[in-house]
C-alpha cells in the first residue's frame, strides 16, 4: 500500500527523512482492526517526528500521521482516536503513545487501530472535516471546555492565530459563547481570525483593552510573558504546546501574587472526541481547512507547515 513514512530524522532539515512510496500492509493484533483511510490531517507532531523529537530511532521507518477518518472493516464510517492507552482517561496512562510513535500512523491507505479507538463519524461531516478532529480540534475542545473552567461569556485570549489548534480554539470558543481575542504576527491571519469568529485581534505583545479570564497557549516561549501579563487576578493559562520554545522565564512573583494558574493539557479522551463530533453536528461548526492534497503530494503540505504558510489544517486524501 502507499504510505508516507519517516525514514530518518534531521533537526535542521526534517523533510530530508520524508519518504513516499510502498509500505507493507498493517499487522492487526488481537482487539485491533483496520481502517481504510479516506482523509488524514497533518500536525506539528509529524514535523517534530522528522526532527527526531519523541521518536526512538529503532522505530524507523514508521508511517507518520495521527489523524484519520475512514471506513472500518465492517463498513462503518469512523473517526480514529489516536491515543493508544488504557483507563478512563487514556492521556494519563504513563505508557500511552500516539499513532506514529510506536505503531504506524495514518498517512497510508490503511491503518491498524484498537477497536475501542473508533468513534462514529456523523454523516453531516465530510471525511476531510472529520479528519481534522482527533488532534488539533480535540486538543482545543479539551482546553476550552474541560481545562479552562470558564462559563460562557468569559474572555479568552488565543495566542498565535493560524495554526490548527489556534483556529479550532477561536471557532469553538465563539460557538461555545466565549468572547475570543487572538494574536498573530500576520495581518492577514488577524483578518482571517476575525472572519472565523474572534471578537478582537492584536499584534503579539500588544496591550489589551482589559485583562482576560484565560489564555490558550500553544506558542510557548515567544508569548509566555504576554500571556501572564494578560490575565486577571485568579486567571488561568491552559498550555498544550510550545512551538517557539519550552523554557520561558516563569515570573513566579506574578504567578503567586496574582494567584494565577498554569494548567497543562494534552489531546483528549475517546469520549471527548465523540462529544466533539456531536458538538460540530449540532452547531453546524466545521473545521477550517487550509488546503486538501492527495497523499501523493504530502511533501507540499509538510513544506507549507514548516514555513508557517497555513491557516487551519492541511488535509491529505488517500
Q: In this structure, is residue 308 part of a structural domain?
A: yes
Cell numbers representing residue 28 in the block: 492487526
**Backbone region of residue 275 per phi and psi (left: phi > 0; alpha: psi in -120 to 50; beta: other values):** alpha
pLDDT in tens, 129-166: 999 999 999 999 999 999 999 999 999 999 999 889 99
Torsion-angle region of 284 (φ positive above 0: left; ψ -120 to 50: alpha; else: beta): left
Domain residues for 57? 2-132+287-317
**CATH label of the domain that carries residue 188:** 3.40.50.720
> How would you classify the pairing of strands 231-239 and 261-264?
parallel
pLDDT of residue 9: 97
Give the model's pLDDT for residue 185.
93
* Cell representation of residue 218: 500553544
Q: Using CA atoms, how far apart are residues 136 and 268, in angstroms rounded to an integer? A: 10
Q: Are strands 83-84 and 313-317 parallel, antiparallel or unpaired?
A: unpaired
Does 181 fall in a domain? yes
pLDDT tens-digit map of 175-191: 999 999 999 999 999 99
- The string of pLDDT tens digits covering residues 46-74 is 999 999 999 999 999 999 999 999 999 99
pTM of the model: 0.95
Total structural domains in the chain?
Answer: 2
Residues 92-138 have pLDDT tens digits of: 999 999 999 999 999 999 999 999 999 999 999 999 999 999 999 99
In this prediction, residue 171 has a pLDDT band, given cuts at 50, 70 and 90, of very high
116 and 189 share one domain:
no
- 12 and 73 housed in the same domain: yes
- CATH number for the domain harbouring residue 19: 3.90.180.10
DSSP string covering 96-109 = -EETTTSS--SSBS
Task: Give the whole-angstrom CA distance, residue 37 versus residue 34.
Answer: 9
Whether 293 shows a pLDDT value over 90: the answer reads yes
Name which of 200, 251, 208 is nearest 231 in CA terms: 208
Tell me, what's the pLDDT at 241? 86
pLDDT of residue 143: 98
Q: Which of 9, 10, 17 is nearest to 298 (CA)?
A: 17
Torsion, Cα of 206, 207, 209, 210 (10° steps):
120
At residue 263, the pLDDT reads 97
Q: Please check whether residues 158 and 236 belong to one and the same domain.
A: yes
User: Distance (Å, rounded) from C-alpha 295 to C-alpha 2?
Assistant: 9
The pLDDT tens digits of the residues spanning 240-272 come to 988 788 888 889 999 999 999 999 999 999 999
- Same domain? 146 vs 123: no
113 in any annotated domain = yes
- Of 248 and 34, the structure prediction assigns the larger pLDDT to 34
Q: Please say whether the beta carbons of 131 and 317 come within 8 A.
A: no
Amino acid at each position: 500500500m502507499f504510505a508516507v513514512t519517516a525514514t530518518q530524522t534531521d533537526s535542521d532539515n526534517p523533510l530530508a527523512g520524508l519518504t513516499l512510496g510502498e509500505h507493507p500492509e498493517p499487522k492487526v493484533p488481537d482487539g485491533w482492526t483496520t481502517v481504510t483511510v479516506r482523509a488524514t490531517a497533518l500536525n506539528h507532531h509529524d514535523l517534530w517526528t522528522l526532527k527526531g523529537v519523541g521518536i526512538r530511532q529503532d522505530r524507523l521507518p514508521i508511517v507518520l500521521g495521527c489523524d484519520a477518518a475512514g471506513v472500518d472493516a465492517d463498513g462503518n464510517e469512523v473517526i480514529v482516536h489516536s491515543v493508544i492507552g488504557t483507563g478512563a482517561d487514556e492521556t494519563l496512562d504513563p505508557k500511552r503513545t500516539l499513532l506514529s510513535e510506536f505503531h504506524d500512523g495514518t498517512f497510508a491507505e490503511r491503518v491498524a487501530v484498537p477497536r475501542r479507538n473508533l468513534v462514529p463519524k456523523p454523516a453531516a461531516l465530510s471525511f476531510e472535516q472529520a479528519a481534522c478532529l482527533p488532534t488539533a480540534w480535540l486538543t482545543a475542545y479539551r482546553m476550552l471546555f474541560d481545562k479552562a473552567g470558564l462559563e460562557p461569556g468569559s474572555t479568552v485570549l488565543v495566542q498565535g492565530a493560524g495554526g490548527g489548534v489556534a483556529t479550532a480554539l477561536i471557532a469553538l470558543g465563539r460557538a461555545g459563547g466565549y468572547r475570543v481575542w487572538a494574536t498573530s504576527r500576520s495581518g492577514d491571519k488577524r483578518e482571517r481570525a476575525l472572519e472565523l469568529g474572534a471578537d478582537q485581534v492584536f499584534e503579539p505583545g500588544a496591550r489589551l483593552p482589559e485583562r482576560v479570564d484565560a489564555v490558550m497557549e500553544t506558542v510557548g516561549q515567544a508569548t509566555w510573558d504576554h500571556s501572564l501579563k494578560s490575565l486577571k487576578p485568579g486567571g488561568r493559562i491552559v498550555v498544550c504546546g510550545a512551538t517557539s520554545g519550552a523554557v520561558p522565564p516563569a515570573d513566579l512573583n506574578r504567578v503567586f501574587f496574582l494567584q494565577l494558574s498554569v494548567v497543562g493539557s494534552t489531546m483528549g479522551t475517546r469520549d471527548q472526541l465523540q462529544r466533539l463530533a456531536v458538538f460540530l453536528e449540532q452547531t453546524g461548526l466545521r473545521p477550517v481547512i487550509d488546503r486538501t492534497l492527495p497523499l501523493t503530494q504530502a511533501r507540499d503540505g509538510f513544506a507549507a507547515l514548516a514555513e508557517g504558510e497555513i491557516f487551519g489544517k492541511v488535509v491529505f486524501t488517500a
